[in-house]
Amino acid sequence: MSDILDRARARVLDEGSGLAEADILEILRLPDEALPELLQLAHDVRMKWCGPEVEVEGIVSLKTGGCPEDCHFCSQSGLFASPVRSVWLDIPSLVEAAKQTAATGASEFCIVAAVRGPDKRLMEQMRAGVAAIREAVDIQVAASLGMLSQEQVDDLVDMGVHRYNHNLETCRSYFPNVVTTHSWEERWETLRMVRESGMEVCCGGILGLGETVEQRAEFAAQLAELDPHEVPLNFLNPRPGTPLGDRPVVDGKDALRAIAAFRLAMPKTILRYAGGREITLGDLGTRDGLLGGINAVIVGNYLTTLGRPATADLELLADLKMPVKSLSATF
Amino acid sequence: MFCDRCGLPAADGDHMACAAARALEPPRFCPECRRRMKVQVVPTGWTATCVEHGLRTG
C-alpha cells in the first residue's frame, strides 16, 4: 500500500477528517495500478461516514437558454452560437416533471434557470411553481437560479426551498479562464448567504474544463473549506458552439480518481453523479464510481441533454444493494 | 432534409457522429426546414417545436 493511502486510511476512514490539498494532489497522481485500492478506500469511507443509501434527484430547466453570462462550457449562454433557444416551462409541466421524478423514488427535485440571477418574473414563477409542487407531490424542492440577493434568499426560504445549488464550477485560480462576466468571489458570496439562511448548500462543479491536476486538487480543497451539504460532480460534455466545444472528454480512470479524491477530501458530504458521466464513464464506469465514493445520482435527463433512463440507474442500485434514500430520511 | 443535430443538409457529408450524439441529446434543428426549434427537456423526455412544422416529442 502506498504512503498516501495509508495516511488517507488513518485520517479519513478512521477519523472522518478530509484530506488537505497536498494529499488530494497525491491521490490524483496515483498510478492506474493503485486505482482499485483507492476506489475501495473511498467506498469504505462513504459507507462508514454516509451509509449505503443513495440520494436520488431529478432536475428540470424552468428557464432555458438566453443567459447573459459567458460560462464557456454552457450551451445556454446567449453569447455563443449554440443551437439552444430560449424557452420557459409552464407550471403544469413543472408539476408533471416533479411527479415523474417522484415516481422514480427520488426524494429531491431541483428547479434550475439559466440566468445571472433571478428577476421579479422568475421569482414569481418560482413561488407559483414551488407552491403547486408542494400541493401535488411529496418531494423535497431545491433550486438553482444563479446569484442571489439577500431578499431573494429570504424569499426562497419562505417558499419552502430546502436546498440551493450554486456551483463554483472550478477552482478559484482557473475560474477566470472559464467565466469572465462574473467572479468566483461573487458566487462564494451567494453561497455564504444561502448557508446563513439555513438552506442546505449544494455546490460542485465540472471536471475537464482544461484545469490542471493541481487545480483539480485546489478545487476539492476549496469545496471542502465551504463544507457543502452536497457536491454535484459533472464531467464536461463538450457542447457545440461553446468555447469548450472541442475539448476532449475526461479520461475514465482520471474521472474515477477524481471521484475518490473528492470523497477523501469530503468524507461526509453527499457526492452526486451529475452531467457527463454517460460519455466519460459509460455503464461500467458508472458502477465503479458508485463503488468508489459516489452516494447520490441525478436520474433521467439533464437540463439540455439526455441521461440514462431512470430505470437503468435504479436497477444498478438494486444490483449493488444500495437502497434509495427515502423522503422521510431527508427530514 | 436536414440533420436535426447540426442543421446541415442530411445528404451532405457524414452525420454518423451527429447520429451517435443524438442518443444523449434532443434534436435542435427541424429536419424539414432547418429552423432552430424550441426544445424543452424534462426528466423523462423532451419536446421540440418548429414554428412551421409543429411539435416533436421523445
Across the interface, do B41 and A97 touch by the CB < 8 Å criterion?
Answer: no
**A85, A93, A100 member nearest B36 (Cβ):** A85
Q: Kindly report the CA angle at A126 between A122 and A130, in degrees rounded to 5? A: 175
Average pLDDT on B40-57 reads: 97
Instruction: Tell whether B8 is covered by a domain.
Output: no
Q: Write out the H or E segment, with its range, that includes residue A85.
A: none
Across the interface, do A301 and B7 touch by the CB < 8 Å criterion?
Answer: no
Chain B residue closest to A60 (CA)? B42
From chain B, the residues in CB contact with A93 under 8 A are 40, 42
Instruction: Tell whether B32 is covered by a domain.
Output: yes
Strand-pair partners of B41: B46
Which CATH fold topology does A3-318 show?
TIM Barrel (3.20.20)
Q: What is the ipTM of this complex?
A: 0.95
Per-residue pLDDT reduced to its tens digit, A50-103: 999 999 999 999 999 999 999 999 999 999 999 999 999 999 999 999 999 999
Across the interface, do B40 and A279 touch by the CB < 8 Å criterion?
Answer: no
Chain A residue closest to B23 (CA)? A306
Across the interface, do B43 and A60 touch by the CB < 8 Å criterion?
Answer: yes
What's the Cα-to-Cα distance from A61 to each of A71, A86, A91, A110, rounded to whole Å?
17, 11, 12, 9
Instruction: Tell whether B52 is covered by a domain.
Output: yes
Q: Cell digits for A165?
A: 445549488
Is the CB of B44 inside 8 Å of chain A's CB atoms? yes
Instruction: Tell whether B47 is covered by a domain.
Output: yes
Is the CB of A110 inside 8 Å of chain B's CB atoms? no
- B29 lies in which domain range? 16-57
Chain B interface, best mutation among A75, A87, A89, by max B CB count within 10 A = A87
Structure confidence at residue A331 (pLDDT): 47
Instruction: Tell whether B7 is covered by a domain.
Output: no
How many domains, in total, are found in chain B? 1
Domain ranges of chain A: 3-318
With a cut of 90, say whether residue A328 has pLDDT above it. no
| Residue A117 CB-density burial (10 A; 0-12 exposed, 13-18 middle, 19+ buried) | middle
The whole-model pTM stands at 0.96
| Percent of chain A whose predicted confidence (pLDDT) is above 70 | 98
Across the interface, do B39 and A87 touch by the CB < 8 Å criterion?
Answer: yes
Nearest residue to A207 via CA among A159, A267, A275: A275
From chain B, the residues in CB contact with A241 under 8 A are none
DSSP state of A173: T
